[in-house]
Amino acid sequence: MFPIPQLQFRSENASYRIDSDSAEQQIRQPRPTQEIEQVPAQMDIKQPKGTMDIDQSKAWDALGKANNLEVMLRIYSGARDVWLQGIAKRVEDGNRMWAIHEGGNPIADMGKDFRVSFPEMNFAGEPSYDNVDIHYEAGKPDIQVQEGGAKITARVNPPEISAQRGKFDFQMLSYAKIEFTPPQIDTKL
């Protein structure tokens, strides 16, 4: 029997090297810029002075120190009463003398009572605890308010983007190969 020649082969895989880095991307979003200006409110207050009226004419009148016109009017209006009282006194004295026959001495009695006087005339006003009138009127305040507020200005800042490329390095170290080794053939026949 004859041996069957065999074909031998040897294979090598390809070898390579890959060096890669990922790309990097950075995104930064700054906050919006905001400007706030506060406008203060304004207030204007005007306070007028109050008014006070004090009327003490009744008090002066009760003390007998009223104005001359009023005193003269009282004397004039009271003179009739004084005159009537004087007439009544004279009539009373006349009646006492008329009744002399009843006894007594009316002329001597009238002499004892005689005095030179003027009848009292009351020309002062009536005294009272409420003779001074006080009236106060407060001034109303005038308040003007002007509203303030806030002025807001906002600005959106764009995003800041920075990117760095990645790298990809490919290197072929060896290629794939197949080696065939033929059998040795006996060429001698």
pLDDT at 8: 83
Listed residue (24, 26, 28) closest to 164, CA to CA: 24
Low-confidence ranges of the chain (pLDDT < 70): 1-3, 114-121, 123, 186-187, 189
pLDDT at 2: 65
Residue 5 and residue 175 in contact, taking contact as beta carbons nearer than 8 Å: no
pLDDT at 125: 75
Distance CA 19, CA 167 (A): 8
pLDDT at 135: 92
Which pLDDT tens digit goes with each residue over 110-139? 777 766 565 566 767 788 888 889 999 998
Q: Are strands 149-155 and 33-39 parallel, antiparallel or unpaired?
A: antiparallel
pTM: predicted TM-score of the whole model, two decimal places? 0.36
- H-helix or E-strand containing 141? none
